[in-house]
Chain A
Amino acid sequence: MKTLLIEDDPTAVFLTKRLFHHEGIPDELTTFLSPQKGLDFIRAQLAAGLPPEVILLDLNMPILNGWDVLAALEPLQEHLLGRCLVYILTSSLATTDLARAEAHPLVTGFIHKPLKRDELLAIQTQVQESHLN
């Protein structure tokens, strides 16, 4: 399950990396502390026909926040839908963030940090289901 994590907080990156390690899939995770570099990576992978299957996207980042990243991905929507599931991974408890995420066509799910094992397994199941469709 090729996964891209866009997250500016080194602790959160470390936690997600260790979770993937303990699940035995450390090589499936690519991380970017810079949202801009994350976006460049997505565009390059799309061009190469290898978009990540899962994007875990933080919301609260300086300069380019998670919503800005989603807005930048909107023009690529038709290439991403069905091939790449975007999950918001945030510490935010704000209900406005949740409502906004649910309304966004590119967002599959909203997860409160830290990402837990059962949530990762649920993502894997959703990816497999999306492949069957």
Chain B
Amino acid sequence: MNTGAPIATKEMRFRSLFENSPELILYQDRAGVILDANPAFLALVGEPKDRVLHHLYTDFLPPDVHELFDEKLREALTGRTVRFDMYTSQGKSAPRHWDVVKIPLQEHGQVVGVHMVARDISEKTRTQEELVAQNQDLQQFTYIVSHNLRAPLANALGLVDLLGQEAAGTPEFEQARTFLAHNLHQLDLVLRDMNTILTIRDRQDLTAPEQVELPEVVQQVVTSLQDVLDQCGGTVEVALPTGLHLPANRAYIYSIFFNLLSNAIKYRAEHRPLRVVISAEQGPAGELTLAVADNGSGFDQAQAGTNLFKLYQRFHPQQPGRGVGLYLVKTHVESMGGRIEVASRLDVGTRFTIFLPATSA
């Protein structure tokens, strides 16, 4: 049967694949020089073809990945197909995750060059990372249920039993009743915390950001804590450029600064007046760095490890608190696409730094 349609030559078929593929395709000689590059690659590196051909591929890569690429090229030159993942910028592109395959081309039993096909897997990688993070959250909730909900409940069960054994009106009976009330209250608090946190996580993607005037919100936080500050002789310096605003949820911004400032007050050094500096710095691309630094009691970073921002982790048993504040702060920051870091030295002070990306800043 002849449909009459022209049959594309082999060369045309391969050329079409090369020209139209969204994957980056390169052909390099044994020295790593680019002999051919497809439009997807040229578009990514943002260079015309004549600025790409006859250049080393490594000219388009940042120095820190040169060694890896050279090594993989050498491996492919031995006649083996090599596949690896990597995170790098190329030419003028932003850094992305790539799934890279290097395929040797053999002529008369000799490797004469290497084809490279690179696929952008940033989206997939991001989804995977989110899944891992959500799994960790789930594990943390399992832990909360098994420890933090169960602890006051187990106490309450024991106390109810004990109330049956103690004679009414004795100090032990009254003590058991007081403990029972305290533990039921504790149980209620944990349930409320979980509700708060689950609500934030639930609404994370739904909340439409509003323009928040940062200095105004921070001033509100300072005002609401002014009484406590006065009592302990503490001062707060708000060093924010006037008019600094960011698209965010106002309640979250308030919660972040309220929790950080409350912590600074709670963990102040006893022998010197508390001083807190709240500052902000806007980067060239619009990214925002916020800092809350105090001269308080600080903590041992080696001991606290990575647990500082975890829910119900406590580091000051002699101070009241439930270990919720910093977890909330981290959740709020992450819901804005940012991250938070801490630097602390025992008896010198603590500095929390929040990095917000340009899209949200």
What chain A residues lie within 8 Å of B161 (beta carbons)?
114, 116
Contact A93 B150 (CB under 8 A): yes
**Complex alpha-carbon distance, A91 and B186, angstroms:** 14
Q: Contacts A62-B314, A63-B303, A114-B157 hold; do A14 and B147 have CB atoms under 8 A apart?
A: no
How many A-B residue contacts, CB cutoff 8 Å? 66
How distant is B223 from chain A, measured CB to nearest CB, in Å? 32
Tell whether B158 is near chain A: CB-to-CB under 8 Å.
Answer: yes
Contact B315 A113 (CB under 8 A): no
Interface string of B140-175 (1 = CB under 8 A from A): 001101110011011101110110011000001001
Contact A18 B166 (CB under 8 A): yes
Contact B162 A62 (CB under 8 A): no
Contact B317 A18 (CB under 8 A): no
Tell whether B30 is near chain A: CB-to-CB under 8 Å.
Answer: no
What chain A residues lie within 8 Å of B176 (beta carbons)?
14, 18
Q: Which of A9, A18, A34, A115 contacts B151 (CB 8 A)?
A: A9
How distant is A89 from chain B, measured CB to nearest CB, in Å? 10
What chain A residues lie within 8 Å of B179 (beta carbons)?
10-11, 14
Q: Contacts A8-B317, A11-B183, A62-B314 hold; do A92 and B147 have CB atoms under 8 A apart?
A: yes
Q: Which of A15, A18, A91 contacts B147 (CB 8 A)?
A: A91
Residue of B nearest to A16 (CB): B158
Interface string of A51-67 (1 = CB under 8 A from B): 00000000011110000
Interface string of B285-314 (1 = CB under 8 A from A): 000000000000000000100000000011
Tell whether B182 is near chain A: CB-to-CB under 8 Å.
Answer: yes
Contact B147 A62 (CB under 8 A): no
**Complex alpha-carbon distance, A10 and B182, angstroms:** 11
Residue of A nearest to B175 (CB): A14
Q: Contacts A62-B314, A92-B146 hold; do A15 and B151 have CB atoms under 8 A apart?
A: no
Residue of B nearest to A115 (CB): B158
Tell whether A79 is near chain B: CB-to-CB under 8 Å.
Answer: no
**Complex alpha-carbon distance, A61 and B151, angstroms:** 12
What chain B residues lie within 8 Å of A97 (beta carbons)?
146
Q: Which of B154, B172, B317 contacts A112 (CB 8 A)?
A: B154
Q: Contacts A93-B145, A114-B157 hold; do A63 and B151 have CB atoms under 8 A apart?
A: no
What chain A residues lie within 8 Å of B159 (beta carbons)?
11, 15
Closest 4 CB pairs of A and B: A114-B158, A62-B314, A91-B151, A93-B146
Q: What is A's interface to B at a CB cutoff of 8 Å?
A: 8-12, 14-15, 18, 22, 34, 60-63, 91-94, 97, 112-116
